[in-house]
Chains A and B, each alone.
Chain A
């Protein structure tokens, strides 16, 4: 069962001034980010021209996670804080727990190629709503637990309580505004804006308590992953909702057999796999550096970050099509470590 550590929600509730909220908004940024490497990897592991529908579903979720990260960062900036994104600890250890104890005791998230099991056992657990709508077999009752949604709502409530005075005039100039469209991303300058922005994050992630769709035809993350798992689109029936719509086909051979949960040191120096995994980690770290700049006074730098995202996608292809050649039948898989240099060929070896 999905859980956020209760003390975090309590912490938000106890906050007496805006500075007390900084660490919780930083937590939210870290949490939103923490889902991106596993989702992105699963998406990148789908070979070109295959499983296109699944790719698009995951892609739309990844983009929304990026939006949520941006919203949290903008709110933090709006009340005078400074997001910290370019540090080694910003990237969680994979496989490992998500920030804030998301997913509850013993729940770990890794870096794996796409599979239905991964979607079911990990992604749907990450995105499980506060009150899942019973859909076919999904009838488990929710008792006492803290969810991501609950956490966000606690922040929402606290911002209302602290009032418009906590917003720093002119901070909208330092907020990232591009790429998501104005209806999804807008400058946060007061309580109303912050409430609206948080509402959007919660709805996109979980849907509403009565409707699995965040907007018509666009199910919330949990239900979108469930669609992939069940292989059918979700539809409204006379008795509620069912995964009974158009098929979402999955071609198992259309997935790169990439090595899961790789560390850079798993690959021997002086191999193509090692060079490419270091390159990927470096580009990912550069992306975090560029985002950090974007949220710390240079919002236009988001353009640079976009370029890095596209380069990462291209590098993923080179990486995941590199055979390890160790008899495992696997190809190289990415590692998400914050690095300052890229090597991999060894000091002087010329194979």
Chain B
């Protein structure tokens, strides 16, 4: 069960991601070279600067989201049929907002939502249901919005899939759909997927830090993966730009229900948009079809004998996107050939060229083969380990397969931005390799249960390879080994595991402000000025001591708590323990120990052990300090490496 099952709810509205942009350049972590101007916005005209939102709060929240449609018993549900359509999907009204958190300045493509809770409400009830959003990162960050639509908009859209946990229901007798959803859901879970797009970065427009969101909520069970659907995976052929499929349809997933004879396909993040409104670009007549052969060349033109059309994608109908979130169910009950063959033949999206000719824009993963790990973002302290949960499927059915795991740093590394900061080197990522251990192979299970691969961090940690920034980031790639990955296989550049491995940080017997605490807090204060300027001056002993109670609370909370400190989740267990020990060990004056200032000579040099050359980028000010720049820089760096 998942959001592609029945029943489901669709919602539409806005989201705010009020991120701080200073920590988008790894070189700004070098406190010794940090300049006050790095906290200025790009609009200040100085360079380098803190990009388009240096005073961001990190808040992620839904804004004005409403249930706009639903699906129950094989039919769409309207407001006339069910009062659930029109209800508000809101954030928690009992605690602080969720926070959007990057894993690391050198891996900004797995931004996670932490500490969000959602509820369904209207004038009749505070919460028909509420639940905690299980921490999840986006995936499938494809370029969706037209380049010329609004220069400073984020043109990349992305999809989040997760579950609501600890779901509590109140009386839902007003809504047949909610009753059915409650009955179908187990384990206190609901499956939730949403697409984010049309994000504004221009401080002068109303949509500043705000974007559009449309998504789907359906039943879930604990036995299934949370962050993807055990279903049919549509994989595009990529060109030189890894985020721009050649035939314009992004990766998406489908679910075949053989009992109901339906295919439910999620086009919510697959289609291009004109602008931030989410108006879908007219790509011509598109249909979902079943291919009669095992595979086809991407972009090939085919005749009627090559495919069996399941139905047109009604994406050009007004309100289709906003009321369905792009999730469309196709009924094949009356098509005998499809009934017999859909389980073993690939799905395709075709575009009508003329009567009797179609072009294949995207096809199911070749051979129907697909491998995925459920969770793909980890933070590990030295000595900790994590269990990666792997699945392999053929045409959506779990299979026993052997997967190979290996280093994959294609989508990580770099400075994060292309600004010119010559005095600070950019650390290399993924080194030393030996600090992170994982098996070279993992065997998946045919019964649909997860196969576990344990990733362990060396108890000694990576040994501060990056100098001025804690720990190291690693990418772990995986692919099918047996059965082997077929030729011409379109793999997703996003399907790898990102790990942030923290350095070892022994807790001193008597931590002092100057010796141990200031270096940690000054860096955080530099990168998160909204906190330092308005709540606690993290570089100032007196200010920190004055707020010792609230800091002690915030540093003591579990990492999932929305009030956890720091909101960026980039403090190792050792550093946190040091902070807490310091806060809880007052000296004779009743205050945490101040110590004596360390001389510059005594402080260890905070320089990376291995560095990487980064190209400068010539960008508009509002393009700086975000996903776009991170990607452009990765690409430019790869071009530079290729060119020698």
Interface residues of A (CB under 8 A from B): 48-49, 179, 270-272, 275, 279, 282-283, 285-286, 289-290, 293, 303-304, 306-308, 310-311, 313-315, 317-318, 340-348, 350-351
Contact = CB atoms under 8 A, between A and B. Distances in A.
Given A286-B95, A313-B535, A317-B530, A275 B90 contact: no
B121 interface: yes
A289 B549 CA distance: 23
A271 B14 CA distance: 13
Interface string B1-20: 00000000000011010100
A272 B93 CA distance: 21
B256 to A, nearest CB: 33
B57 A275 contact: no
A303 B556 CA distance: 12
Given A286-B92, A304-B94, A306-B553, A317 B55 contact: yes
Interface of B is mostly: mixed
A289 B93 contact: yes
B27 to A, nearest CB: 26
A314 B530 contact: yes
Given A279-B61, A293-B94, A306 B206 contact: no
Nearest to A346: B64
Interface in B50-69: 55, 57, 59, 61, 63-64
B121 A271 contact: no
A294 B217 CA distance: 31
Interface stretch (B207-215, B442-450, B476-484): B207-215
A350 B275 contact: yes
A320 to B, nearest CB: 11
B533 interface: yes
Given A317-B534, A345-B206, A311 B96 contact: yes
Contacts of A341: 64, 88, 90, 121
A87 to B, nearest CB: 12
B605 interface: no
A49 B550 contact: no
B533 A345 contact: no
A347 B68 CA distance: 11
Nearest to B208: A272
B533 A308 contact: no
B534 A304 contact: no
Contacts of A304: 94-96, 563
A282 B549 contact: no
A340 B278 CA distance: 27
In terms of DSSP, what is the predominant structure of the interface of chain A? helix
Contact of A344 (B64, B212, B275, B531): B64
Chain B interface size range: 35 or more
Contacts of B322: 348
Nearest to A288: B93
Given A307-B95, A307-B563, A351-B207, A343 B530 contact: no
Given A282-B91, A286-B95, A304-B563, 18 more contacts: A48-B534, A270-B206, A275-B63, A286-B96, A289-B94, A293-B94, A311-B97, A313-B534, A313-B535, A314-B531, A314-B534, A340-B121, A340-B126, A341-B90, A342-B91, A345-B210, A350-B278, A351-B207
Given A285-B93, A315-B57, A48 B533 contact: yes
A275 B95 contact: no
Contacts of B206: 270-272, 275, 345, 351
A58 to B, nearest CB: 15
Given A304-B563, A317-B534, A348-B322, A342 B96 contact: no
A344 B15 CA distance: 11
Q: Identify which of B92, B94, B553 gathers the most chain A CB atoms within 10 Å of its CB.
A: B94
A345 B534 contact: no
A49 B540 CA distance: 13
Contact of B207 (A303, A313, A343, A350): A350
A306 B535 CA distance: 13
Contact of A350 (B96, B208, B277): B277
A303 B64 CA distance: 28
A275 B17 CA distance: 13
B205 interface: yes
B63 A343 contact: yes
A68 B210 CA distance: 39
